[in-house]
Amino acid sequence: MTKTKVRKILFCGIGIVLICIPLYYLGFGAVYCFSMKKANKEAIEVSYLEQTNDIYSGKIKKILRYEYDEYMNQNFFGLDILTNDSTEILISYQYPIKLNENLLEFVEIGQKIKKAKGKDHFELTSKNGISKTFKVPNCEK
């Protein structure tokens, strides 16, 4: 073999390697991205089914405002709900403030809350007997 043939083969080999390595990583990244999107979608669907199949009645135990973090305090709030059944399960919901200002204004500690099976909303009853319905978080389907 002559030197020019060796150089051509060497340059072609290096060129193929330089093209294949980035393509390999791009392919791996694309597969990872699409599989994560699919997994997230499935997790949201399962969460939606679990939350709509939930049934409980109880009281608002705590309204969480996340004072420890400025971003969380300005953008989110949480509700801790203590169920009335024998197990006294504590259910925690987290809401974005911008989309749920009416809930934040209406909710008070000690209010009665009731959620029926198969529904994506719950009913809050104030101490005055006024009832309003609100969506369970992450049930925008």
Residue 141 has pLDDT above 60, yes or no: no
Task: Give the number of other Cβ atoms within 10 Å of residue 11's Cβ.
Answer: 10
Same structural domain for residues 21 and 8?
yes
Residue 48 domain flag: yes
How far is it, in rounded angstroms, from Cα 88 to Cα 123?
Answer: 19
Q: Is 70 helix (H, G, I), strand (E, B) or coil?
A: helix
What is the span of the domain harbouring residue 107? 55-135
**pLDDT level of residue 139 (50, 70, 90 thresholds):** low
How far is it, in rounded angstroms, from Cα 110 to Cα 61?
Answer: 6
Q: Are 83 and 100 in contact (CB under 8 A)?
A: no
Residue 37 has pLDDT above 80, yes or no: yes
User: What's the pLDDT at 61?
Assistant: 92
User: What's the pLDDT at 4?
Assistant: 83
Q: Which two tokens stand for residue 126?
A: 């104030």
How far is it, in rounded angstroms, from Cα 95 to Cα 137?
Answer: 6
**pLDDT level of residue 106 (50, 70, 90 thresholds):** very high
Same structural domain for residues 59 and 126?
yes
Residue 13 domain flag: yes
Q: Output phi, psi for 69, to 5 deg.
A: -140, 125
H or E segment to which residue 87 belongs: none
- Listed range (38-52, 77-91, 109-123) with the worst mean pLDDT: 38-52
Residue 141 domain flag: no
Residue percentage of the chain with pLDDT more than 70:
96
Same structural domain for residues 17 and 86?
no
Q: What is the mean pLDDT of the chain?
A: 84
User: Which pTM was predicted?
Assistant: 0.64
Residue 138 per-residue DSSP state: T
Residue 127 has pLDDT above 70, yes or no: yes
Residue 119 has pLDDT above 80, yes or no: yes
Same structural domain for residues 25 and 47?
yes
User: What's the pLDDT at 140?
Assistant: 56
Alpha-helical runs (H) found in 54-140 = 70-75, 101-106
Average pLDDT over residues 108-117: 90
Q: Are 115 and 136 in contact (CB under 8 A)?
A: yes
Better-predicted residue by pLDDT, 64 or 47: 64
Average pLDDT over residues 68-94: 85
